[in-house]
Structures are given as structure tokens and as C-alpha cells.
């Protein structure tokens, strides 16, 4: 497995792959890998000849009071895990490589970024779309792989790719969960034992939402209240948002119809966790 620290190095690697007639898959990450990341890498390996994993904690997508400085980092651990699943190259650039002095160009998707995490984390998605568009331009992958846990992010990237006529396929894979249902996240390591136990309410509230929909409930307000009450009654849980919206345009709903997403963000202490589920009505 090759480790590339500069844009020139990863472009040379991809050029070699193309010369050999190989397809290239990209898995963009911020590192501190868990089974969710590894699932994306394995799927990329199945459908592409060569797999590049970007490992870059992007400062542009963190707000001034967020956890950029504390975000977990362990390059050697991540590299060993990526090598074990067959990744061909890691692109792990320093900040000055991605955002050199004088950098002043940004990519922004409007509309669907104004809700959910985009509303509670101003500027977050501009940081995401800027860095992901740079990664797409640097690596020029045939396919890029993302997880459904970050559903809004996936929708935003799909919209960017479509609107800017980027020549690649965005592949979104189902959320990978712990045995008790908690969505795997690098931020789970922040949780205390008690917080970790209580955090299972996120998945349980989504299951309650799905079960109510299966029983015939279509009133978005009632479904939202069901979820909020479950979460709010859990010790230490502080609701950031619980929303039920249309897919893919993320418009508010009074009655469920078509594809709908129930999405939530909840804090336990300083740790902010997100999760979601999509239903077809």
C-alpha cells in the first residue's frame, strides 16, 4: 500500500493505475477507522481495480467551537487497518497541501444544506463540498463511496456531482451499526460508559418511527413527537434536531408520502451524534 502526502504523489499513483487500464475507487474519510469505514473500503475493492482512501481531517467543515482539535487521530492504526482490507493507496495530505496560502475558492450547494446539520452547523457543508470537490479533482475516481449514516452529506454530494457534471458515480452504502444498534462513528470514543449505554435511544427512536409508519401512521408531527419524547426522557440526551423530511429535496412534510427521511442529532455531554432512517410510503 502506497502512502501519498502530496497531490503530485497521488496523481502519479492514479496515472499508473489508468495506464494499466484499472478503474479507481475513492473512499473519503477523516480517519480513526471503524467497521463502517472498512465496509466502504471492502465494497470499493469489490467494484474497482484500485482503491484510494483519503485520510484528511478537513478544518473547513468544523465550526470555531467544534471538536477539530480533539478529533481522534491515529495514522499508524488507520494505515494498518486499510492495508489489511486491501487498500492500494492512502492520500493523507497536510493542511498546506490542500489549502495553500492565498486559498480563497469554495464550492457551495444551496437549498438542501439549509436544514438538519446545515442549519445547526453553519458553514459545515461548504467545507464538505469544497474538500470533496478537491478530492474528486485530484483523484478523478470512477466511483466514490459514502455511508448512509451521513445521509444529508451524501445527498449534498450527489447534488454537487449532478449539478457540476462531475464524471463519477457516488455510491451510498447502508449504515453500519454496533450490536445494540448505535451507528458506528469515530466520535463514539468520546462517550462515557453511561452515555454510550443511553445513546442507544437514537436507534430505538428510529425503530419506533419505522414501526409506527408500518402500522399506518402518516402524520409527521405525531411521528416527530414520538421520537422527541423517547429521546428527551433519556438521561443526558439533549436534542439538537429531530426532523422528518422528503427525499431527496429535504422539504418539510405534514403527511408522509413517497421517500421520507427521519433524521436526528443528539448531544450527550460534548458529543454530538447523528442518525437517520429512510422509509418509502
pLDDT at position 65 is 87
Question: Among this protein's residues, is 124 annotated catalytic?
Answer: no
Task: Decide: 129 and 156 in contact? Cβ < 8 Å.
Answer: yes
CA distances from 4 to 141, 159, 251 (A): 16, 29, 41
Active-site option among 10, 37, 250, 279: 37
Share of the chain above pLDDT 90, in %: 100
Cα diameter, the chain: 58
Place of cell 495506464: 19
d(CA 210, CA 208): 5
Measured distance CA(235)–CA(268) in Å, rounded = 9
Model confidence pLDDT, tens digit, residues 199-225: 999 999 999 999 999 999 999 999 999
Q: Share the mean pLDDT of the chain.
A: 98
Rounded CA-CA distance 40/26 in Å is 9
Q: For residues 102-111, give the mean pLDDT.
A: 98
* Global pTM exceeds 0.85: yes
pLDDT band at 56 (very low <50, low <70, confident <90, very high): very high
Amino acid at each position: 500500500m502506497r502512502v501519498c502526502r502530496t497531490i503530485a504523489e497521488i496523481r502519479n499513483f492514479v496515472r499508473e493505475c489508468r495506464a494499466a487500464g484499472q478503474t479507481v475507487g475513492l473512499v473519503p474519510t477523516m480517519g480513526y477507522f471503524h467497521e463502517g469505514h472498512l465496509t466502504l473500503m471492502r465494497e470499493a475493492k469489490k467494484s474497482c481495480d484500485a482503491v484510494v482512501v483519503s485520510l484528511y481531517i478537513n478544518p473547513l467543515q468544523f465550526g470555531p467551537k467544534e471538536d477539530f482539535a480533539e478529533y481522534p487521530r491515529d495514522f499508524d492504526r488507520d494505515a494498518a487497518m486499510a492495508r489489511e482490507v486491501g487498500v492500494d493507496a492512502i492520500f493523507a495530505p497536510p493542511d498546506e497541501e490542500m489549502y495553500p496560502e492565498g486559498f480563497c475558492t469554495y464550492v457551495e450547494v444551496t437549498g438542501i444544506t439549509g436544514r438538519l446539520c446545515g442549519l445547526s452547523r453553519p458553514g459545515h457543508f461548504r467545507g464538505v463540498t469544497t474538500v470533496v470537490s478537491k478530492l474528486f479533482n485530484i483523484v478523478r475516481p470512477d466511483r466514490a463511496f459514502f455511508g448512509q449514516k451521513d445521509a444529508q452529506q451524501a445527498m449534498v454530494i450527489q447534488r454537487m456531482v449532478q449539478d457540476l457534471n462531475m464524471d463519477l458515480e457516488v455510491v451510498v452504502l447502508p449504515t453500519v451499526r454496533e450490536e445494540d444498534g448505535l451507528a458506528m462513528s469515530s466520535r463514539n470514543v468520546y462517550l462515557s460508559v453511561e452515555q454510550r449505554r443511553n445513546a442507544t435511544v437514537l436507534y430505538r427512536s428510529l425503530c419506533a418511527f419505522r414501526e409506527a409508519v408500518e402500522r399506518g401512521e402518516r402524520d409527521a408531527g405525531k411521528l416527530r413527537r414520538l421520537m422527541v419524547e423517547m429521546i428527551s426522557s433519556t438521561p443526558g440526551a439533549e436534542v439538537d434536531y429531530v426532523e422528518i423530511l422528503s427525499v431527496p429535496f429535504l422539504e418539510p412534510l405534514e403527511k408522509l408520502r413517497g421517500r421520507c427521511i427521519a433524521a436526528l442529532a443528539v448531544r450527550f455531554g460534548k458529543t454530538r451524534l447523528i442518525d437517520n432512517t429512510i422509509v418509502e410510503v
